[in-house]
Amino acid sequence: GGVPTERGTPVFVATHADALGAVLDGLPAERLDDLVLLQNGILRPWLRNRGLAPDEVSQVVLRLAADGSVLSPAAGCRSVAFGTHAACAAALLPSCRVADSEAELQREALFKLLWAAAVPLACDAAGPGADVR
**Predicted pLDDT of residue 89:** 93
**pLDDT score at 72:** 58
The residue among 84, 112, 111 whose CA lies nearest residue 98 is: 84
Closest CA to 28 of 44, 6, 47: 6
| pLDDT tens readout for residues 19-64 | 999 988 998 888 989 999 998 778 888 888 988 887 789 999 988 7
pLDDT for 76 beyond 80:
no
* pTM: predicted TM-score of the whole model, two decimal places: 0.80
On whether the CB atoms of residues 108 and 102 are closer than 8 A, the answer is no
pLDDT digits (tens, 9 = 90+) for 3-18: 666 888 999 999 888 8
